[in-house]
Homo-oligomer: A and B are copies of this chain.
Amino acid sequence: MAVELEELKEKLRALTGKLLAYNQAMGVMYYDAATGAPRGGAEDRGRTYAVLSEVIYGLQTGEEAGALLTALNERKDELDVVTRRQVTELYRDYERTKKIPMEEYVAYQVLLNEADTVWHRAKEENDWPAFEPYMEKIVAFNRKLAGWLEPEKKPYGALLDQYERGLTMEKLDEFFGVLKERLVPLILRIAREGRQPKDIFAGKRFPAEQQRQLSDWLMAAIGIDREYCSIRETEHPFTTGWSKHDVRITTHYHEEDPLSSLYSVVHEGGHALYELNVSDELQGTVLAGGASMSIHECQSRFFENIIGRSRGFVHNLLPELRRLFPAQMEGVTEEDLYRAANVSRPSLIRTEADELTYSLHVLLRYELEKQLIDGSLAVRDLPGAWNAKMKEYLGLDVPDDRRGVLQDSHWSGGSIGYFPSYALGSAYGAQLLALMKETVDVDAVIASGDLAPIRAWLTERVWSKGSLYDPLEIFEQAAGAPFDPAYYTDYLTKKYSELYGF
């Protein structure tokens, strides 16, 4: 019997090896496509995706995988914790993916490849009509997908569960309710009474070449080992990776605003640190990536906001900015930079929104997605609905779709139900910060310029665990308590009341 189990485990390793290989091949192609591949190659690349994704579908749902995973599942009690979790995850994928017809699965991969290209161009050229038919198809697929995966659930709930196991619309409605109730008054008060700091970057130009050097500095400052992580440029920054030995971050340089790429790099750097610090024993398994989108966003937004926009970080950043941009930074004080990094002001672009208004951007997307999926909003009406909500929540007129409905890459990438993770991750981060402060002098560590104690805390409690547990379990293990959004609203209220002198 023992021999047979070893054989099964050996087969599991072989299956995993293949899945990881195809995953890397497709992942590298996606990354390459988003970081400078010639645009004309999209159609050929689509054909390659079709071939590879058909193989992946076969590996995940084939009889061989079915027999192997069923056999291992029956002997779960004999397995070590890592193998057991792998079997659970793969078996779940097996059962879920099997519910999706193969032709639909493959056609969707091809559609997403095209949609990505069309979206890039549509965003550049402010051309929603070009993207609309792709969005129609993506929404239609996601509605079908929800039905295949969990026909008993409300469709949007089934989609949420893909990104965040166990997350429900009820929980989210409650969570966003708390945010709305506690944050909107503060946002309105700042808009009414807040004295905004001077715009220290107005009329200045920050060349991409120096910004590239700044990115190198930032990656070093947060503790990224470049042996295992590289950076490239893209339209919409993202992070990807295939193991702790190969992680990629991306950014986009705006020459009129150095903070845009700066905080993108720190944000994506947070994602990268998570992947780079998963424990060695999980490498080569399907558990070597982050546990979920919210746990991932918890890391990235922790680095971007809690660390990156802190007084200590700004203090260490200023000399580097002065070195790279001596003329542009002349006369800019530490207080000026700190205020510039922490302005709260309703704005059009989510990724550049301040911490305080950020969750309203997410709320808007959450509400629109729910409506698209339950059928109460037609895709053709999406730009109008977007603009109306921007007016309602942030008081802004959207001047064009580039800065409106076309701004994010998530929908063109097929991700519907992903956005809520951003707000949730931010809220998780505030709760972890409170706990971390009990044993780590966070402000002093940041001011010291060596974040090792913070990385060690997060490695132990979150990063090393990869996908060994469900996301909510990982959060609760780390926080030692259930999730409570009050940490987040308290953190924001305190920070922004101080900033605006209330």
Q: Using a CB–CB distance below 8 Å, which chain A residues touch chain B?
A: 17-18, 20-22, 24-26, 28-29, 31-32, 36-41, 43-45, 47-48, 50-52, 207, 209, 225-230, 232, 242-243, 245-248
Contact = CB atoms under 8 A, between A and B. Distances in A.
A161 B236 CA distance: 47
A37 B246 contact: yes
Contact of A38 (B21, B38, B39, B229): B229
B38 A245 contact: yes
Nearest to A224: B38
A224 to B, nearest CB: 10
Contacts of A29: 24-25, 28
B209 A38 contact: no
Contact of A24 (B43, B44, B209, B226): B44
9 contacts: A28-B29, A38-B230, A38-B245, A38-B247, A39-B227, A40-B228, A41-B245, A41-B246, A44-B243
Contacts of A225: 40
A40 B25 CA distance: 17
A113 B247 CA distance: 18
Assembly stoichiometry (copies): 2
B38 A25 contact: no
A18 B48 CA distance: 8
Contacts of A28: 25, 28-29, 32
A469 to B, nearest CB: 24
A52 B232 CA distance: 26
A48 B207 CA distance: 38
Interface residues of A: mostly helix, strand, loop or mixed? helix
A251 B71 CA distance: 52
A17 B245 CA distance: 31
A246 B45 contact: yes
Nearest to A228: B40
B44 A25 contact: no
Given A44-B243, A48-B24, A226 B38 contact: yes
A41 B232 contact: no
Most buried by B among A246, A247, A248: A246
A39 B226 CA distance: 8
Contacts of A32: 28, 31-32
A10 to B, nearest CB: 16
Contacts of A38: 226-230, 245-248
Given A21-B52, A25-B28, 12 more contacts: A17-B47, A20-B48, A21-B50, A25-B29, A31-B32, A38-B228, A38-B229, A38-B247, A40-B228, A41-B243, A41-B246, A43-B245
Contacts of A31: 32
Most buried by B among A17, A41, A48: A41
A190 B77 CA distance: 82
Contacts of A52: 21, 25
A38 B32 CA distance: 14
A176 B29 CA distance: 42
A246 B38 CA distance: 6
Contact of A44 (B40, B45, B242): B242
Most buried by B among A32, A39, A225: A32
A249 to B, nearest CB: 10
B40 A227 contact: yes
B25 A48 contact: yes
Contacts of A37: 230, 246, 248
Contacts of A226: 38
A454 B458 CA distance: 61
Contacts of A246: 37-38, 40-41, 44-45
Contacts of A18: 51
A230 B34 CA distance: 12
A37 B35 CA distance: 12
B36 A230 contact: yes
Nearest to A247: B38
Contacts of A227: 38-40
A226 B41 CA distance: 11
| Closest 5 A/B residue pairs (Cβ) | A41-B246, A21-B51, A40-B228, A25-B25, A21-B48
A26 B24 CA distance: 10
Contacts of A36: 230, 232
A192 to B, nearest CB: 45
